[in-house]
Amino acid sequence: MGRVARQAGEGRLTETLWHEGPLAGIAREPGRPVLWSVRPDSEAAAGALARSPHDARDLADFAAAPDAGYRLLRRRLTRALLAHLAEVAPESILFGRRGDGAPSVLAPAGWHVSVAGRAGHALIGLADRPIGVDAEPLDAAPPLWDMLTPAEAARIEGLAPSDRPRAWLRAWTAKEAHAKRWRFARHADPASIDTAFLAGNRLSASSAEGTSLVILREANGRIEAAAL
């Protein structure tokens, strides 16, 4: 079932839909970012893949990539989601790559995409504005301490020892999503990105490139983040 989280950011209402399940359950609402959390081996994915072929450009794009088969599945799932939201034929969708290597939507115009995940799971974000997404297992070991800013380290050190790993992982996921949103994920220095916890499931993330509102969700053993 889709889940809607309404959060205020930068003086406007940011309404984000987190969805699990078949694409038919996603209502089309212009201006609302959509995050589809899906397992490629699920029934929901199978239905989408049946309507979303790959083409020669997709094969060429991933020919030399590690885990090429899984990356191709994610491309097809992304195409299916975009076809549903934009109400276009999957065959008419054209993807490219930005200068940082991340995927971009060439057609139809006006869409921004970000994809994250591992072999057993994918998180796909589509919006009418730049977006970055990331997903990490809740049982993942926290990254190295020197990847925190001084303010983050002080904040996390002030927590109970049992709460520190989760807080660090939440900050790390927000950093990754922010770097993707601002197109510098390939050369990002995590210690140059400062995060601050806001109300509820929100964080802010800031770096020399700009500032993001990051919305987090914890579900099915993962932390998922969307930077807007």
User: Which CATH number is 160's domain given?
Assistant: 3.90.470
State yes or no: cis peptide before 161, omega within 30 of 0.
no
12 has a pLDDT exceeding 60 = no
191 CB-near residues (< 8 Å, 6+ apart): 146, 147, 148, 149
Which stretches within 87-228 are classed as H helix? 150-157, 164-181
Residues 89 and 195 in one domain: no
Residues 18 and 119 in one domain: yes
Which domain does 67 fall in, by range?
Answer: 3-129
What's the Cα-to-Cα distance from 43 to each of 17, 22, 87, 117, rounded to whole Å?
20, 8, 22, 18
Q: List for the chain the helix, strand, coil content (%; round to 5).
A: 35, 35, 35
Residues 212 and 106 in one domain: no
Q: What is the CA radius of gyration of the chain?
A: 17
213 CB-near residues (< 8 Å, 6+ apart): 7, 9, 10, 14, 202, 203, 204, 227, 228
Residues 142 and 105 in one domain: no
Residues 67 and 53 in one domain: yes
10 Å Cβ neighbour count for 204?
A: 17
Task: Indicate the pLDDT class of residue 14, thresholds 50, 70 and 90.
Answer: low
| DSSP code of residue 141 | P
| Contact (CB, 8 A) for 209 and 195 | no
Task: Indicate the pLDDT class of residue 67, thresholds 50, 70 and 90.
Answer: confident
Length of the chain: 228
Residues 18 and 118 in one domain: yes
**What is the total count of domains within the chain?**
2
Task: Indicate the pLDDT class of residue 41, thresholds 50, 70 and 90.
Answer: very high
Residues 219 and 145 in one domain: yes
77 has a pLDDT exceeding 70 = yes
Q: Supply the pLDDT for residue 28.
A: 84
Residues 121 and 147 in one domain: no
46 has a pLDDT exceeding 60 = yes
pLDDT in tens, 133-191: 999 999 888 788 889 999 999 999 999 999 999 999 999 999 999 999 999 998 899 99
Residues 95 and 167 in one domain: no
Question: Which residue do the tokens 């949103």 mark?
Answer: 181
**What's the pTM?**
0.90
Q: Supply the pLDDT for residue 38.
A: 96
Residues 143 and 218 in one domain: yes
Q: Strand, coil or helix: what is 172?
A: helix
Residues 99 and 141 in one domain: no
* Domain endpoint, select from 107, 129, 151: 129
* Domain endpoint, select from 84, 109, 129: 129
Low-confidence winner among 1-15, 66-80, 91-105, 138-152 (lowest mean pLDDT): 1-15
Closest to 226 measured CA to CA, from 7, 1, 2: 7
Read off the pLDDT of each residue in 14-27 and give the average, rounded to a whole number: 87
Task: Indicate the pLDDT class of residue 74, thresholds 50, 70 and 90.
Answer: very high
